[in-house]
Every structure is written in C-alpha cells, then in structure tokens.
C-alpha cells in the first residue's frame, strides 16, 4: 500500500516536473520567436534618435541639442601605460640618435631583394587610381591593379634574416627617396589649375583663388594665413545659394554653394555629443557624426599635420538655408514632421529614411559641420589608394592583417608603392586614427596632380570619436607590425604631449567654434590616454628594433 502511494506520489511529481519543463521550453520558444519577429521587423538595430526637446526647456541648456551632454559621469584617468619619465627618455634617445646622424644601414650584398618584389600585373594602367572624391563609399568599385602574386609562397620563404634585410632595404630606399626629393619645391593647387599668365586675370582675384594658393602638396591649408580665416568665415557664415545632395557615400551629405566660388560639404547633426557607438554595431554601419568631423579637424591641426580640409560647425535654418535652396531632387525629400518640424531624409544607403530624417530641432534650427570642398576630377586628379590595413567590411570575415603579424613584411614592405613617403604617411594616419578612434579608414586619398611627393589628405572622419570608454588597439596595427615612424611626427607628438593634447584641443575648439561642447570630457580624457598608448607602442618598437631601426627622417615635416 505504502509502496503504491510512494510510486503514485513520485509519478505525480515526475509528471509535474515534466509539465514545468515543457511549459518553460514552450515559453522560451514562443518568446524567442517573438523576439525574432521583432528583430525581423526592424531591419537593423538602429541607434536611438536624439531626444526630442521642447523649445522652452532647450533654452536653459548650454547646448540646445545635447541635454545629456553634461558631464554625467567622469571617468578616472587611467593608470599610465608608460611613465612620463620614459616618454621624456624616449625623446632624448631619438634626438641624440638624430644628432649623431643616422648611419645608413648596409644591406647584405648576398641578399637578393628582387625575389620578393612582385611583378606588377598591368604597369600601363593610365587612369586607374584617379577615382573620384571622398573615400566614403564602401560599395564604390575599386580598380586595384596591385599585388597579384602568390602570397603563400612568399610567406613560406620569408625568414627572420629576410625580415631584417627587408627592414634595412626600406631604410635604404627611403634615404634614397629623401635625397631625390629633399629639394622639391612646394606645389600649390592654384598653380596646377591655372598657368602663370591666367593668374593675373581679374576674375581670378578672389578669396577662393587665394585659398587654393595655400593648398600645397604637403598641407591642405596654412593655419597662420588670413586666407585660412577667410575660408572658415565663408564656411560658417557664407550665404547659401544652392543645396544639393552629394551622390557618393553611404550617408547623407549636402553640397552647399557659397559666395565667391566656395563650396562646402555639410554633414548635419545626427546624434548627441555623448553618443557612444552601439556595442553590436559594426564600424561600417556606425552613424556619422558632425561633431566628430569637427573634433578630428582640430586634432589634426594640433598635431601639425594640417591634412584635414578645413571645416567648421554652423547653425543653419533648415527652411531658408536648405529647403528653399534645395535642388529639385533634394527638395522632394523634405516634409513636416508630426511635431511640426521641417525635416528631410535625402537619398543614401544608410539612415536615409523617414525614421532617420534630419529635422530642425527646435523649429528651424539645425547644426552641422561644413567642410571646404576641394577641387575634384576632372579639374584636379585624386588618387584613391585601398588601405592595406582596411577592415573586412563584413560581419563574418576578418582581414588578413588581423591574423598575420608578418603582414607588413609580406604585403607592405615589399610593395614598391610604399618605397616612398607613403609608408610613413600611412603611419602618421594610423597615429591620427588611433587618437580619434577611427576604424573606418578603408582608403587613403591624396591629390595625385601634385605628383609622387604628396601628402595624404585625411578625409572622412565622421565615424571617429565613437567610443570614449575603450581604445581600439587594432588601429595601431600598421605601427605595431611595421614599426616604422616618421621622425618629425614623433617630435611633434612629443611637443603636444608636453603641452597636454586635451587642453590644446579644447582650447582650439573654444576659440574657433560657435557650437559648444564638441567633445565631452570623456573624449578629452580618452585622447590623452591614447597618446600615451601610442608612445608605449613606439617604445615597444624601439626596444625591438632600436631607434635607428624605427625612426626615419625622410625630410618631410
């Protein structure tokens, strides 16, 4: 009897347990399908739109667009990656080595570099690399006629001795390059576009012409000239005569026609200053930020590169400045939102739909960054170089450099395209990108009309400053794997370090920008921290390859 009761009880218990398990499983199943459907409905998890602000409450805010931009929580300054003592020591080390005249590294005469030089497949491609414009579009077709050789073979036979010799060879070629180009004269854009005689024509006596006289093969502006101030003033205040959409690129950009032949590229406000890239968002779907463009310009200027075409923040009236001046195509995308704000969405592949429209907030007011639009083909030829350290732009693939620490030897150092200033320009760019946290550098752009001795133009920084709580060390991969660095850049980084990078940046923003709080405190802390990490990476390189092995004075300032 008891036995039976026990069995009965245990079987009841068993059925209850089974029921509970089945119930939970079903519940989870239903719930997860629900979630799946939800996910299906929103095609991609999109960033939250900026908070709607009522006009009156906005008036009390330091910045009408950034209610949350107050210092909500301050991050602690990270403990140093490298002591300031070591940074000073490094600088002394580098300086003394330079004063002692870098010894030219002799190459082992029995070593045959030729075996690594890939044969260029089509040496006679005349206009392959002069693709247009900003390096924005991921989908843009590339004609890349480089490096069609058997990589696996190279990897197998490149041993440690080869790598040492290859490093020596790079030093040798860059020393030779320096000798060949040391006395090159600066070339400016005005001279390229108009011959000497034409320049006396009265119609070229314009502020625009005077500005492009200051655009040279080494800088896209000169910060100490009146032309620079005139340019910024035009971009910030010039009356807009036409607004048209820029066709290239994945996110909305508007070309503004300004007085005196100036054109500006407008990137409108999308997200608040303290917006952090969504953790599950890839760099290629990250939304572009006008404040990042502005901040990146100032960082580049302070580092002394002067390679970001000047840009400035501007307050626009979305109705009178944009809608009333819009080309027919753009005008079609304007509408009035339920909150009675004027909005437009434009045509592009990311964030150009009604739910991500750009709206006046409040009323007619709109913030944006306006960047000078440099002459493009066919007036002036540009070269668009596929970045060897570009990311895969795929959610499932990784790029070769991410898994191969020999990548620089096998793909960059043996490539003749890099046996000139481009190699060190790329290192400069990596340093810059690391400081601003830019993962989106798929191409390098330069004005090829200037010839071979021409600097990169640091275009398209709208996806920088995406995170302040994390530093993406992978951006340093070119420096880590190649371990070459330009002497003059190092010296400038050191000067900036001594003065305090974040202080210089915030002072610079404070004196030129009308828009407030372009970088929230957290970002300012982050750039100081990243500068130290950059020094510690250079320190590691120097410890591995010595100062002479890493630092190169190629005569470029």
Ligand X SMILES: *[C@@H]1O[C@H](CO)[C@@H](O)[C@H](O)[C@H]1NC(C)=O
Any idea which residues carry the catalytic annotation? 440
Kindly state the smallest distance separating residue 82's Cβ from ligand X, in Å. 28
- Is 373 known as a binding-site position? yes
Our CA dihedral for 479, 481, 482, 488, rounded to 10 degrees, sits at 20
CA distances from 494 to 304, 531, 552 (A): 12, 10, 16
Helices (H), 303-440: 328-331, 400-403, 407, 421-436
The interface region with ligand X, picked from 82-90, 317-325, 371-379, 538-546 by CB under 6 A, is 317-325
Residue 536 parent element (H or E)? helix 521-550
Size of the site for ligand X (CB under 6 A): 21
Are 440 and 463 in contact by the 8 Å Cβ rule? The answer is yes
Of 89-128, binders to ligand X (CB under 6 A) are: 108, 110-111, 124, 126
CA atoms within 13 A on the CB side of 161: 5
What is the torsional sign of CA 158, 161, 167, 168?
negative
At closest approach, how far in Å is the CB of 24 from ligand X?
Answer: 46
The answer to whether 158 touches 409, Cβ cutoff 8 Å, is yes
Per DSSP, what are the bridge partners of residue 242? 257
Would you say 249 or 362 has its CB closer to ligand X? 362
When asked if residue 365 is in the footprint of ligand X (CB under 6 A), the reply is yes
Q: How far is the CB of 106 from ligand X (least distance, A)?
A: 8
372 is in an annotated binding site: yes
Annotated ligand binding at 263? The verdict is no
| Residue whose CB is less far from ligand X, 407 or 490 | 407
- Residue 460 annotated as binding site: yes
Task: Say whether residue 319 binds ligand X (CB under 6 A).
Answer: yes
User: What angle, rounded to 10 degrees, do the helices at 501-512 and 290-302 form?
Assistant: 120
Applying the rule CB under 6 A, the residues between 324 and 343 that interact with ligand X are: 339-340
CB of 118 or CB of 492, closer to ligand X: 118
Buried b (16+ CB within 10 A) or exposed e, 212-240: bbbbbbbbbbbeeeebbebbbebbbebeb
Asked if 113 and 173 count as a contact pair (C-beta separation under 8 A), the reply is no
Q: Which is nearer to ligand X, 110 or 183 (CB)?
A: 110
Task: At 225, list the tokens.
Answer: 């000239």
Nearer residue to ligand X within complex by CB, 27 or 499? 499
In the complex, the smallest distance separating the C-beta of residue 34 from ligand X, rounded to whole angstroms, is 33
Residue among 99, 101, 152, 403 that touches ligand X (CB under 6 A): 152
Comparing CB distances to ligand X, the nearer of 98 and 194 is 194
Interface pattern 195-224 for ligand X (x via CB under 6 A): -------x--x-------------------
191 binds ligand X (CB under 6 A): no
In the block, which residue shows the tokens 């990490």? 533
Stretch 449-468 residues interacting with ligand X (CB under 6 A): none
Identify the residue among 306, 506, 512, 536 touching ligand X (CB under 6 A): 506
Starting at the edge strand that comes first in sequence, how are the strands of the sheet with 383-386 ordered? Answer: 383-386, 443-446, 456-457
Residue 516 Cβ vs ligand X, minimum distance, rounded to whole Å? 8
Chain mean position to CA 128: 24
Of 184, 191, 242, 364, the one binding ligand X by CB under 6 A: 364
CA distance 166 to 169: 5
Confirm whether residue 374 is marked as ligand binding. Answer: yes
In which region does residue 166 sit, left (phi positive, over 0), alpha (psi from -120 to 50) or beta (all else)? alpha
The residue among 321 and 428 lying less far from ligand X, judged by its C-beta, is 321
Q: What sections of 182-331 are H helices per DSSP?
A: 189-193, 207-213, 226-237, 290-302, 328-331
Nearer to ligand X, 278 or 319 (CB): 319
**Measured between alpha carbons, how far is 342 from 364 in angstroms, rounded to an integer?**
7
267 is in an annotated binding site: yes
Among 11, 241, 247, 320, binds ligand X (CB under 6 A): 320
457 annotated as a binding-site residue: no
Among the listed ranges 281-289, 316-324, 437-445, 458-466, the one in contact with ligand X (CB under 6 A) is 316-324
Among 357-365, 373-381, 443-451, 481-489, the segment contacting ligand X (CB under 6 A): 357-365
Of 145-153, 219-227, 272-280, 491-499, the segment contacting ligand X by CB under 6 A is 145-153
Residue 159 near ligand X by CB under 6 A: no
Q: Min. distance of Cβ 460 from ligand X in angstroms?
A: 27
Q: Smallest gap, in angstroms, from Cβ of residue 25 to ligand X?
A: 47
- Residue among 170, 233, 214, 97 at smallest CA distance from 413: 170
DSSP string, 424-491: HHHHHHHHHHHHHT-----EEEE-GGG-SS-PEE----TT-S--SS---GGGGHHHHHH--EEHHHHH
Q: Which of 76, 99, 100, 150 binds ligand X (CB under 6 A)?
A: 150
Question: CB neighbours (10 Å) of residue 44?
Answer: 12
364 is in an annotated binding site: no
Are 250 and 136 a contacting pair, CB within 8 Å?
Answer: yes
The contact mask relative to ligand X for 258-277 (x = CB under 6 A, - = no) is --------------------
Stretch that binds ligand X, among 148-156, 220-228, 453-461, 490-498 (CB under 6 A): 148-156
Cβ proximity to ligand X: between 18 and 339 the closer is 339
Kindly report whether the peptide bond that precedes residue 378 is cis, defined as omega within 30 degrees of 0: yes
Grouping H, G, I as helix, E, B as strand and the rest as coil, residue 416 is helix
Q: Rule CB under 6 A: which residues touch ligand X?
A: 108, 110-111, 124, 126, 150, 152-153, 161, 202, 205, 317, 319-320, 339-340, 363-365, 506, 510
Enumerate the known binding-site residues for ATP.
251, 267, 288, 371-374, 460
Enumerate the known binding-site residues.
251, 267, 288, 371-374, 460
Enumerate the known binding-site residues for Mn(2+).
288, 460
């Amino acid at each position: 009897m008891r036995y039976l009761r026990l069995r009965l009880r245990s079987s009841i218990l068993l059925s209850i347990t089974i029921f509970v398990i089945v119930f939970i499983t079903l519940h989870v199943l239903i719930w997860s399908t629900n979630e799946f459907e939800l996910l299906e409905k929103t095609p991609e998890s999109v960033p939250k739109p900026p908070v709607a602000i009522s006009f009156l409450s906005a008036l009390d805010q330091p910045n009408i667009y950034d209610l949350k931009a107050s210092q909500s929580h301050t991050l602690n300054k990270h403990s140093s990656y490298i002591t300031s003592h070591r940074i000073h020591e490094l600088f002394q080390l580098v300086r003394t080595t330079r004063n002692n005249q870098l010894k030219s590294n002799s190459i082992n005469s029995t070593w045959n570099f030729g075996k690594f030089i890939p044969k260029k497949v089509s040496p006679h491609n005349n206009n392959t690399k002069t693709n247009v414009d900003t390096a924005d579009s991921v989908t843009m077709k590339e004609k890349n006629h480089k490096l069609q050789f058997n990589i696996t073979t190279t990897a197998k036979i490149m041993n440690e001795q080869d790598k040492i010799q290859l490093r020596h060879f790079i030093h040798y070629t860059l020393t030779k390059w320096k000798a060949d180009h040391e006395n090159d004269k600066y070339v400016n854009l005005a001279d390229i576009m108009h011959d000497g005689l034409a320049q006396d024509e009265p119609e070229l006596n314009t502020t625009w012409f005077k500005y492009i006289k200051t655009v040279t093969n080494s800088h896209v502006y000169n910060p100490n000239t009146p032309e620079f101030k005139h340019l910024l003033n035009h971009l910030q205040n010039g009356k807009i005569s036409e607004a048209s959409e820029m066709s290239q690129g994945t996110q909305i950009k508007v070309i503004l026609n300004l007085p005196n032949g100036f054109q500006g590229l407008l990137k409108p406000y999308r997200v608040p200053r303290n917006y952090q890239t969504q953790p599950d968002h890839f760099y290629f779907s990250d939304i572009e930020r006008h404040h990042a463009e502005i901040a990146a310009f100032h960082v580049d200027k302070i580092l002394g590169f002067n390679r970001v075409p000047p840009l400035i923040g501007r307050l626009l009236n979305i109705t009178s400045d944009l809608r009333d001046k819009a080309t027919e195509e753009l005008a079609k995308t304007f509408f009035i939102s339920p909150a009675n704000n004027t909005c437009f969405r434009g045509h592009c592949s990311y964030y150009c739909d009604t739910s991500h429209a750009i709206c006046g907030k409040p009323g007619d007011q709109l913030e944006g960054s306006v960047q000078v639009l440099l002459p493009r083909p066919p007036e002036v030829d540009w070269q668009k170089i596929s970045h060897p350290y570009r990311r895969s732009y795929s959610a499932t693939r990784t790029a070769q450099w991410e898994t191969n620490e020999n990548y620089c030897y096998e793909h960059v150092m043996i490539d003749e395209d890099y046996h000139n200033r481009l190699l060190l320009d790329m290192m400069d760019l990596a340093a810059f990108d690391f400081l601003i946290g830019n993962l989106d550098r798929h191409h390098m752009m330069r004005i090829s009309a200037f010839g071979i001795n021409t600097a990169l133009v640091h275009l398209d920084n709208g996806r920088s400053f995406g995170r302040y709580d994390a530093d993406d060390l992978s951006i340093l991969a070119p420096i880590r794997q190649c371990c070459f660095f330009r002497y003059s850049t190092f010296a400038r980084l050191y000067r900036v370090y001594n003065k305090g990078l974040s202080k210089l940046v915030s002072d610079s923003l404070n004196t030129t920008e009308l828009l407030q709080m372009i970088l929230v405190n957290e970002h300012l802390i982050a750039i100081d921290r990243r500068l130290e990490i950059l020094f510690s990476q250079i320190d590691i390189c120097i410890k591995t390859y010595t100062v002479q092995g890493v630092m190169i004075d190629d005569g470029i300032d």
